[in-house]
Amino acid sequence: MFDIGFWELITIAILALIIVRPEKLPKFAKDAGKLLKNLRNYVKKTKKEMAKELNVEEISELQDSINHVDKLMEEAPDKNLSDKK
């Protein structure tokens, strides 16, 4: 997902210690973890709902296409000629 190496992690940790004081770092990390968990759950639910909606829509479009082709087959000129013979 992220291409973060060792030195990047060390830099982020040092910046976090400077920006968020060391005594507040555990609470900050816990809150950040909760935020990421909620964000992942939201994205997962949204993907699942979108897939469900698109699938239903695709099935409806497919059924409409099948009905259209069926109607065209019934109205085909060669079918009318073979019925008259």
The rounded distance, in Å, linking the Cα atoms of 20 and 23 is: 8
The rounded distance, in Å, linking the Cα atoms of 14 and 8 is: 10
Q: What is the CA radius of gyration of the chain?
A: 29
Query: pTM for the full model?
Result: 0.49
The parts of the chain modelled with pLDDT lower than 70 are 1-2, 79-85
The rounded distance, in Å, linking the Cα atoms of 25 and 11 is: 15
* pLDDT 10s digits, 42-61: 999 998 888 787 777 778 88
Q: Which amino acid is at 14?
A: I
Distance of CA 57 to the CA centre of its chain: 16
Helix (H, G, I), strand (E, B) or coil at 9: helix
Residue 37's pLDDT is: 95
